[in-house]
Amino acid sequence: MANAICARCGREFNGKLRQGRKQKFCSRLCFRGKPERKRVNELVIVKCDYCGKTIIRPVCHVSQKNYCSRSCSAYGFWTWHQRREKKYCLECGKEITSQAIYCGHCCKSGDKAYNWRGGITPVNTKIRLSPKYLQWREQVMKRDGYKCTKCGDNGHWKKETHKRTPLEVHHIKPFSTNPELRFDLTNAITLCRTCHRSTTTYKELHGN
């Protein structure tokens, strides 16, 4: 029960006798003369921003959006996501949620990349790093069961040799001289790195 009044902020509190003297201040902040701050254990009444239910929570937990449960929080975010103004990437037209004007892929490619040097990357390298090529590569490996079609190696770590042989996609007809067959599934097979380097086209290209 409050039996004293703070000499600094005027708040009623339960004062105690210390060394025969009555407590004058309600907290260390008032004792030190610092500005009063909201107490963590103070409770306030707020309304759920989704269903309108009245809830009681500590001051430190009150924010711009207050929800009574996780379901209300999820529905509240979903309704906000539906009401917000939709934005699209200026390069590819993909919907984006950030304040940027390009999506994550377009803002890091081409002349918008931080390390752009005027387009010195070879055309073949651009094709091999493009999403279309990576998707085609995945389709070839999935068709072959993620195994080398020549020796059956699956590219996993081997305890006997303490190493692994990565899987690669081999073009039956060379990539550089047959641009029309670069994304043809019938012109590609899955090989391990060892088998790939033993092919005739690889030896002719790299001179091994």
pLDDT digits (tens, 9 = 90+) for 9-37: 777 888 777 666 778 887 777 777 654 55
Strands 167-171 and 188-192: antiparallel
pLDDT digits (tens, 9 = 90+) for 114-147: 677 777 778 888 888 888 898 999 999 999 999 9
Burial 178-206 (b: 16+ CB within 10 A, else e): eeeebeeeebbbbbbeebbeebebbeeee
Mean pLDDT for 165-179 is 88
164: which 2 tokens? Answer: 């692994």
Amino acid 72 reads: C
**3-class SS at 196?**
helix
**3-class SS at 163?**
strand
* pTM of the shown model: 0.45
Domain boundaries, the chain: 1-37, 43-83, 87-120, 123-206
- Residue 170, beta-bridge partner list: 189
Burial of 73 (0-12, 13-18, 19+ CB in 10 A): middle
| Chain position carrying tokens 């509190």 | 13
pLDDT in the model for residue 144: 92
pLDDT band with cut points at 50, 70 and 90 for residue 108: low
The alpha carbon dihedral of 113, 118, 120, 122 has a sign of: positive
**3-class SS at 162?**
coil
pLDDT digits (tens, 9 = 90+) for 55-106: 887 776 776 678 888 888 887 776 665 666 677 777 777 777 666 676 766 6
| Percent over 70 (pLDDT), the chain | 78
CA distance to 75, 95, 110, per residue, from 98 (Å): 20, 10, 20
Q: Does position 151 have pLDDT exceeding 80, yes or no?
A: yes
pLDDT in the model for residue 4: 81
State the chain's mean pLDDT as an integer: 79
Residue 196: which of 157, 144, 158 has the closest Cα? 144
